[in-house]
Amino acid sequence: MTWSIIARDAQTGAFGVLCASRALAVGAVVPYGAGRTGAIATQAFANPFFGVDGLRMLREGCSSQDIVGALVAADEGRDHRQVHVIDRTGSAACHTGSACIAWSGSVSAPDVSVAGNMLAGPQVVEATLDAYLAASALDFDERLIVAMEAGECEGGDSRGRQSCAIRIWSDAPFASFDLRVDDHAEPLKELRRLWRLAHQGYAPFQAALPSRAKPAGVTDRDAVYRMCAEYAEAWNARHPE
């Protein structure tokens, strides 16, 4: 009842998931990931333990193929599940259960996977992947959005649209970019509006948060304000409305 793109940004090593659905709050269920680790999307009759256990296996260094195989083998509801995983090397694997409602399936390329169920047709995942591959000049977050917009133009979820979410993990186990649209008539359009708003303060503020390299982060309030303002000015120059 959802489709999603998961990817590894080859330039920065970040991992991301963008998912959309004709269901409330898709971002609360589907996306899992961690910096320097990998990303997972669990959907159809989603199994949250695919995210929890899959992340543990990713941290242990297991491959995406081994993880999907192990998760599916241990789940008696496997025929109703869809899950895809991308590991720290950028290798992807997917399972689409035989009971998932048509159209259901997936496509992938190095560093990226697209999977969905109850879609308008295979053109949805194909257009999503093609758009992502063609947009290599864009920043990672916008590249994911452009990809999903292309899939939406091909019909997206066959039931309609309601929610979407984007999560990106850079170095840390927590997301460095995390936006959700839980209920909206045009969720991807609303996500794009929030994406632009996020780059006015939320996105640059992440650089001030504590990190393993800088445990205290940046605590000089005026310095943070200046940093955010300079970032927003430069970003807006590159992304005119």
Alpha helices, H only, the chain = 48-59, 64-73, 122-134, 140-153, 187-198, 202-205, 221-238
Q: Could you give the C-alpha distances from 134 to 72, 129, 137, in angstroms and in order?
A: 32, 9, 8
Over residues 28-51, the pLDDT tens digits come to 999 999 999 999 999 999 999 999
What pLDDT was estimated at residue 213?
Answer: 87
Over residues 176-233, the pLDDT tens digits come to 999 999 999 999 999 999 999 999 999 999 989 998 889 999 999 999 999 999 999 9
Instruction: Pick the closest to residue 163 from 51, 71, 30 (CA basis).
Output: 30
d(CA 12, CA 203): 16
Write the CB contacts of 65 (distance below 8 Å, at least 6 apart in sequence): 91, 93
Is the per-residue pLDDT at 163 higher than 90? yes
Q: Where are the domains of the chain?
A: 2-196, 199-241
Q: Which residues of 98-135 are buried (b: 16+ CB within 10 A; e: fewer)?
A: eebeebbbbbbeebbbbbbbbbbebbbbbbbbbbbeeb
The pLDDT of 70-84, averaged and rounded, is 98
CATH level 2 (architecture), domain 2-196: 4-Layer Sandwich (3.60)
Q: Which pTM does this prediction carry?
A: 0.96
